[in-house]
Amino acid sequence: MTPFAPPLMAPAKRGLPAHLPGLPLAHAHVLPFAPLLALLPGLPPALPHALPQRLLLALLLALPLALPLALLPGLATLAHAQTVDYGALEATFGEPVTTSVTGKPQRATDAPANIEIITRDDIRRSGATTIPDVLRFVTGLDVRDYGLGSADVGIRGYNQAANPHLMVLVDGRQVYMVDYGRIIWAAIPVQLDEIRQIEVIKGPNSALYGFNAVGGVINIITYDPLKDKLDTATARAGTQSYLGGSAVGTGQIGNTAALRLSAGGFNARDFPAGPLSPADRASRQPPYDGNINADSRWQITPFVEAFGDVSAGENRLSDQEPPGVFGTERLSTYAVRFGVAADTALGSLGLSVTANSARVEIGEVNAALPVTVGEAQSSTVIQASDLVKLGLHHTLRFGLEFRKDADDSGFLTGGTISDQIAAVSLMWDWEITPSVTLTDAVRVDALQLHHAGILLPGTGLTNAQYDDTTLTEPSFNSGLVWKASDDDTFRVTLARGVQLPTLLQYGLSLRSTALVPPTVFLGSPDLNPAIVWNAELDYDRSLPPLDSVLRNAVFVQQTDDVVAWPFGTPLAAVQRGTPIFDSRNVGNTDAAGAEVELKGQNAAGFRWQASYALVATSDHTVLDAGPVPTSIVEYAHSTPNNVVIGGIGYSRDRLELDLLARWQSSYLDFRVNPQRTGLVAVNIDNYVTMTARVGYRLTDTLTLALTAQQFAQDQLVETAGPPVQRQIIASLTVRL
């Protein structure tokens, strides 16, 4: 969705002539709205924590109504605007821009958050066939492959199987599975050819994006069918019997209505099972993937736009579920979204409704799950927002969000576990001077849990315990940006992120007779959310003599009340000889790190990148107290401390040459031990992975490319799962 907003009256020295038409203050998707309680003058920092929750919530709900009235004189400057035109903005700035944090167009270096923009050219030159392939060579990201098309992605460490710390958006729609809070990247209904840019936003951003965004945000922005006529098709073939492709087509009715259709997928022979157990080996099947999507826009009036999109997908992938068990998962997904955005005298208003559903099947002959297990997952999200320009220097964005998530699986949950979450939020962007900007955002999430069904007897859990579970948690983000000169930008950010427990962390109710002895794994309705505190200092320096930008970041982070899965926690109880393990809060963990990146390109056609990322973590938990040897949330050893990324490329006439390489230090990964009684740590030695691509434009519309992924050696151990093999893929792209 691309809602409307008042025009930005930015001074020319910040890169935006005030008279330029079509420069919006809009965000690429609707964000919820939250109050500014923590920012009120004279308010003691500890007061929000001391207030009773109901009183705090009442104040937060009242503030968005009172604040605009207090600033009513500024409403005289309100004006109408147009939707975001990324093409016009790129032409103005001479580089990609973002509107993701404040709603106004900004260079990544000027935004009040650490953002890296991956352009459509970067995506093409990477030779990637999946989005994780694109993200692998981004500073501060950790990508782990468990099979063809199956990967987990983490930002600044804290990666794990079924990673719940990452928020992924496609044109404003949240895409994650509500069971583990994980991302199934192959199920995201977007083709690489229709992506305009991918924005990687590092660090906790819960107040801006929601409770999954404690590690960071991946914001995928596709071409606007109303503004971009995109007609393209790609066919791919390669080793591992790989066959795949995609097609994207756009139909437009003048400047009034447009529809973009896309479809794509692949099938292949997966990597050999390698060190996996006989049961895991037997459960692996050849992977395939297919997704279709329709994205529509209707310009009802110059000030009102309606939008809608529908998608469906089918895939079968080798994955980890539960964590440490490598089997095959089949997934059917459906999603529909519709909404409207309008310019009014009270600001840029947006409303959207999204419904997602998924059918998951796992198990088969898997020893931990000896029968096929079906999960029916659903999520309904309603979002409303208002973006208001007050005078020349203040911008407010209010938001409301309501969502209901449910996971129906008698085998895994004893029935249906569901939650209802209501949230309010407010963002305030204040241009203090032409060179100094302060952006603050606050959000409050209120959760109500529910369980329907029959829980395992003897565990002490009842439906009433779940129905009585409520949580109310605030989060905040604050960023101060100082443009010291045209070439120097400093950024200081502070954040409190909230990671709500996932539905299976709350509601798992599983008895596995395949383990020795038979074992019970339980969720817990008494879990506290994990709270992530983060402070960061960034310095970005433009180097015109080198045609480069140097980016630097240092950060410290603490996570309180870490939530651990029952698969790796200490023994909770023994009932009639049956061990019971449960989800629990296990303590806290600290992290500190730094990033340095140099990136550029020149008129001669050369481009380059080089970066170093350091993350050091320390755990203060109880995870070593029980018979399970270790846990997937033992972050101190399960994160590579050092990562070096390098790349070089060259373009001339119709030819493109690119080479990317990544080295990372050793870390621990985990899989179920041979006795099927718990997890065992597997040391993953330091390694180098490399990708090379040669592309040649045969005609103005036809491009031939050859990509070699992981080409330095035949196979490489990157995780506790199957080794990753070398892949050679040829592609032919037609772009009209």
* pLDDT, tens digit, 9 for 90 and up, residues 284-307: 889 999 999 999 999 999 999 999
How confident is the model at residue 633, as a pLDDT? Answer: 65
Does residue 72 carry a pLDDT above 70? no
One-letter amino acid at 208 equals: L
One-letter amino acid at 432 equals: I
Does residue 520 carry a pLDDT above 90? no
| Residue 636, helix vs strand vs coil | helix
CB-based contacts of 206: which residues, under 8 Å, 6+ apart?
213, 214, 443, 475, 477, 495, 496, 497, 498, 499, 532
For residue 15, give both structure tokens.
């890169």
> Is the torsion defined by CA of 289, 721, 372, 679 positive or negative?
negative
CB-based contacts of 286: which residues, under 8 Å, 6+ apart?
267, 268, 269, 270, 316
Find out whether 343 and 80 touch, Cβ atoms under 8 Å.
Answer: yes
One-letter amino acid at 457 equals: P
Find out whether 334 and 364 touch, Cβ atoms under 8 Å.
Answer: no
Q: How confident is the model at residue 604 (pLDDT cuts 50, 70, 90)?
A: very high
How confident is the model at residue 720, as a pLDDT? Answer: 87
How confident is the model at residue 526, as a pLDDT? Answer: 92
Enumerate domains of the chain plus CATH numbers. 12-735 (2.40.170.20)
How confident is the model at residue 253, as a pLDDT? Answer: 95
How confident is the model at residue 161, as a pLDDT? Answer: 64
Cα separation, 634 vs 620, whole angstroms: 9
For residue 280, give both structure tokens.
């895991």
CB-based contacts of 636: which residues, under 8 Å, 6+ apart?
589, 617, 618, 619
- Of the two residues 535 and 215, the one the predictor is more confident about is 535
Find out whether 464 and 432 touch, Cβ atoms under 8 Å.
Answer: no
- Of the two residues 281 and 690, the one the predictor is more confident about is 690
Does residue 509 carry a pLDDT above 90? no
- 474-483 mean pLDDT: 96
**53-62, 193-202, 275-284, 301-310: which range is least confident on average?**
53-62
One-letter amino acid at 390 equals: L
Percentage of the chain beyond pLDDT 90 is: 57
How confident is the model at residue 548, as a pLDDT? Answer: 95
Find out whether 110 and 89 touch, Cβ atoms under 8 Å.
Answer: no
Q: How confident is the model at residue 13 (pLDDT cuts 50, 70, 90)?
A: very low
- 232-258 mean pLDDT: 96
**CA–centroid distance for 456 within its chain:** 34
Does residue 70 carry a pLDDT above 90? no
CB-based contacts of 570: which residues, under 8 Å, 6+ apart?
581, 622, 623, 625, 626, 627, 628
| 291, β-bridge pairs | 264, 313
- Of the two residues 482 and 370, the one the predictor is more confident about is 482
Mean pLDDT of the chain: 83
Residue of 166, 92, 214 whose CA lies nearest to 473: 214
- Of the two residues 60 and 455, the one the predictor is more confident about is 455
**CA–centroid distance for 5 within its chain:** 25
Find out whether 661 and 650 touch, Cβ atoms under 8 Å.
Answer: no
How confident is the model at residue 571, as a pLDDT? Answer: 77
Q: Give kind and range of the element (H or E) at residue 598.
A: strand 587-601
The per-residue b/e assignment along 538-557, b for 16 or more CB within 10 angstroms, e otherwise, is: bebbbeeeebbbbbebebeb
**pTM of structure:** 0.86
**2-6, 494-498, 554-558, 646-650: which range is least confident on average?**
2-6
Q: Residue 661: CA atoms inside 13 Å, Cβ hemisphere, count?
A: 14
Cα separation, 214 vs 217, whole angstroms: 8
| Residue 244, helix vs strand vs coil | strand
- Of the two residues 92 and 335, the one the predictor is more confident about is 335
* pLDDT, tens digit, 9 for 90 and up, residues 372-418: 567 899 999 999 999 999 989 999 999 999 999 999 987 788 889 99
How confident is the model at residue 455, as a pLDDT? Answer: 87
User: Taking the C-alpha atoms of 491, 542, 8 and 1 in order, what is their torsion angle to the nearest 10 degrees?
Assistant: -80
- 239-260 mean pLDDT: 95
Does residue 479 carry a pLDDT above 50? yes
What is the pairing mode between strands 141-147 and 326-344? unpaired
Q: How confident is the model at residue 83 (pLDDT cuts 50, 70, 90)?
A: low
Q: Give kind and range of the element (H or E) at residue 389.
A: strand 373-390
User: Taking the C-alpha atoms of 668, 669, 670 and 674 in order, what is their torsion angle to the nearest 10 degrees?
Assistant: -80
The per-residue b/e assignment along 220-259, b for 16 or more CB within 10 angstroms, e otherwise, is: bbbbbbbbbebebbbebebebebebbbbbbbebeeeebbb
> Is the torsion defined by CA of 305, 99, 154, 658 positive or negative?
positive
Residue whose entry in the numeric block shows the structure tokens 């409403």: 75
How confident is the model at residue 664, as a pLDDT? Answer: 96
Cα separation, 648 vs 610, whole angstroms: 9
Q: How far is CA 710 from CA 72, 127, 134, 286, 395, in A?
A: 59, 12, 14, 20, 47
What is the pairing mode between strands 195-202 and 114-119? antiparallel
